C-alpha cells in the first residue's frame, strides 16, 4: 500500500491545493474566506447564544465557540462531502487506474488545509484576548487536531463507498448533521442545558469536537488522545486497504 501511494503523494498534495483554488476561484479574498466566515459565524451566533445563556466570561466563551465551530465545520464538511465524493470523482476513477483511496486522501488533504486556515484566523484574533491559546496549541492542541483530522479521514473512508451505492445517505446526512450541531454544546456550555445535559451524549460526533477543543481549554487528556490516535491510525490503514481491495465493488456503481 505504501509503495502504491508514495509516488502519488506530490500529485496528491498538489491536487488538494488545486481543490482549494477551485473553491475560491475569482474571489477577492481567496482562501481567507475560510477564516473570515468562521469568525463571522462565531461573532453572530456567539453573541446570540451567549446572551441567551447568560454568559459571564465572554472572552473564554468566544474561544470556546470559535474552536467548537472550527472543529464541527471540519467534521461536518468532511461527512457531507464523503456522500458524493466518489460520484464527483467518477470521471477520474473510470478513466485512470488510480487507487480509489487517492480521491479520499486528496479531499482529506484539502479539508486539512481548510482547517489550518480557519484555525490560524481564530488563533490570530482570539490570541489577542486569550494569549495562552498559543501555549495550549503546543501543549496538546496539535494532538487534538490530528485526532480530529484522522476522524474525518476514516469516517470518509467508511461512508464514501457505502454512500456510492445507497443514494439516500446523501439526503440523510445534512439532516443528521444539523440536528447534531444544534443538540451539541458547540455554541453553548453543556451546563446550560441543566437537566437535559444528557442529550449531549447522544451525538457521537461531538467526541471529535471535544478531542480538538479541550486541549485548547487547558484539558489535554494525553492518555485518551494517545489511545484514540493509535486506534484511528489503525482504522485508517484498515479502511484504506479495504477500499482499494473492494475497488470493483465501489466503482461498479459509478
Partner 1 sequence: MILIHYSDQLIKSSVPLWVLGMHRSGTSFCVRALQRHGVLLPPNLLAPAADNPDGFQESADLVALNDAWLATSGAAWDACWPLTLLQQSTDQDRVPGLSRESQRLLMRWCRPGLGQALALKDPRLCRTLPQLAQALGPDWLNFGLGVVRDPAAVVASIGYRDDMPALKALALWLRHNLEMVDHRRLAPAVAHWPLVSFERLITNPNNELADSVQAWQQAGLTLHTTTDSQLTIRELPNPPNRLLDVPDAWLCIAQAFHQAMAQANSLGDVPESALHPVRELLDGTPALSQQLLALEAQRRLQLGEQLARERRGRSDPGLLGEDDLSQQEQPPTAAANADAPPYVQLHQVCVDLRGREQRRSLRRMLLQRQGPSGLRPLALDQLNLRIDRGERIGLLGHNGSGKTTLLRLLSGIYTPTGGRIERHGPALAPVIEQSLGFSQELTGLQLARYSHKLHRAGEQSWDDYLAEISSFTELDDALATPIKTWSLGMRTRLSFALITFRAVQGLALDEGLAAGDQWFQRKARRHLDQFIEQAGTLVLASHSEDLLRRYCSRGVILERGRVRYDGSLYRALQLYRGQLH
Cα–Cα distance measured from residue 253 to residue 36, given in angstroms and rounded to the nearest whole number: 38
Given a contact cutoff of 8 angstroms between Cβ atoms, the answer to whether 177 and 76 are in contact is: yes
Q: Does 93 bind partner 1 (CB under 8 A)?
A: yes
Of the candidate spans 33-41, 94-102, 111-119, 211-219, the one that interacts with partner 1 by CB under 8 A turns out to be: 94-102
Residues 53, 83: Cα–Cα separation, whole Å: 35
In whole angstroms, the minimum distance from the beta carbon of 26 to partner 1 comes to: 7
Residue from the set 3, 25, 28, 175 that interacts with partner 1 by CB under 8 A: 25
Tell the smallest beta-carbon distance from residue 82 to partner 1 (Å).
Answer: 16
Helix 222-245 and helix 142-163, axial crossing angle in degrees, nearest 10: 30
Tell me how many degrees the CA angle 79-204-170 measures, rounded to the nearest 5: 30
Instruction: Rule CB under 8 A: choose which of 1, 29, 57, 92 binds partner 1.
Output: 92
Cβ proximity to partner 1: between 128 and 245 the closer is 245
Q: Is 248 in the site for partner 1 (CB under 8 A)?
A: yes
Instruction: Check residue 6 for interaction with partner 1 (CB under 8 A).
Output: no
According to the binding rule CB under 8 A, does residue 91 interact with partner 1? yes
DSSP structural state of residue 137: I
Q: What is the 3-state secondary structure (H, E, C) of 4-59?
A: HHHHHHHHHHHHHHHHHHHHCCCCCCCCHHHHHHHHHHHHHHHHHHHHHHCCCCHH
CB 164 → partner 1: shortest distance, Å? 8
* Grid-cell match 465572554, residue found: 58
Site for partner 1 contains 95 (CB under 8 A): yes
Q: Maximum distance among all alpha carbons in the chain?
A: 58
When the beta carbons of 157 and 250 are compared against partner 1, the nearer one is 250
Q: Which of 1, 4, 14, 219 binds partner 1 (CB under 8 A)?
A: 14
Report d(CA 220, CA 209) in Å as an integer.
Answer: 13
Nearest residue (CB) to partner 1, 201 versus 246: 246
Give the C-alpha distances (Å, rounded to integers) separating 53 from 30, 105, 165, 177, 187: 35, 40, 43, 23, 10
By CB under 8 A, is residue 175 in contact with partner 1? no
Stretch that binds partner 1, among 152-160, 162-170, 207-215, 222-230 (CB under 8 A): 162-170
Binding site for partner 1 (CB under 8 A): 7-8, 10-11, 14-15, 18, 21-22, 25-26, 91-97, 165-168, 247-248, 251-254
Amino acid at each position: 500500500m505504501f509503495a502504491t501511494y508514495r509516488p502519488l503523494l506530490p500529485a496528491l498534495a498538489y491536487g488538494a491545493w488545486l481543490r482549494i483554488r477551485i473553491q475560491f476561484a475569482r474571489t477577492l479574498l481567496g482562501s481567507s474566506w475560510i477564516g473570515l466566515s468562521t469568525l463571522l459565524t462565531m461573532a453572530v451566533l456567539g453573541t446570540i447564544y451567549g446572551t441567551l445563556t447568560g454568559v459571564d466570561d465572554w472572552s473564554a466563551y468566544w474561544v470556546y465557540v470559535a474552536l467548537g465551530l472550527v472543529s464541527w465545520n471540519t467534521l461536518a464538511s468532511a461527512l457531507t462531502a464523503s456522500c458524493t465524493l466518489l460520484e464527483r470523482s467518477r470521471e477520474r476513477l473510470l478513466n485512470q487506474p488510480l487507487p480509489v483511496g487517492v480521491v479520499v486522501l486528496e479531499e482529506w488533504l484539502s479539508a486539512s488545509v481548510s482547517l489550518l486556515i480557519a484555525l490560524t484566523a481564530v488563533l490570530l484574533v482570539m490570541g489577542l484576548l486569550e494569549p495562552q491559546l498559543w501555549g495550549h496549541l503546543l501543549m496538546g492542541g496539535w494532538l487534538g487536531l490530528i485526532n480530529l483530522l484522522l476522524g474525518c479521514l476514516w469516517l470518509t473512508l467508511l461512508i464514501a463507498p457505502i454512500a456510492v451505492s445507497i443514494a439516500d445517505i446523501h439526503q440523510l446526512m445534512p439532516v443528521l448533521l444539523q440536528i447534531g450541531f444544534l443538540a451539541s454544546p458547540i455554541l453553548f456550555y453543556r451546563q446550560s442545558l441543566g437537566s437535559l445535559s444528557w442529550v449531549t451524549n447522544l451525538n457521537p460526533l461531538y467526541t471529535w469536537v471535544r478531542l480538538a477543543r479541550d486541549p485548547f481549554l487547558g484539558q489535554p487528556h494525553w492518555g485518551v488522545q494517545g489511545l484514540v490516535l493509535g486506534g484511528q491510525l489503525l482504522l485508517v490503514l484498515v479502511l484504506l486497504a479495504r477500499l482499494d481491495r473492494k475497488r470493483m465493488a465501489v466503482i461498479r456503481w459509478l
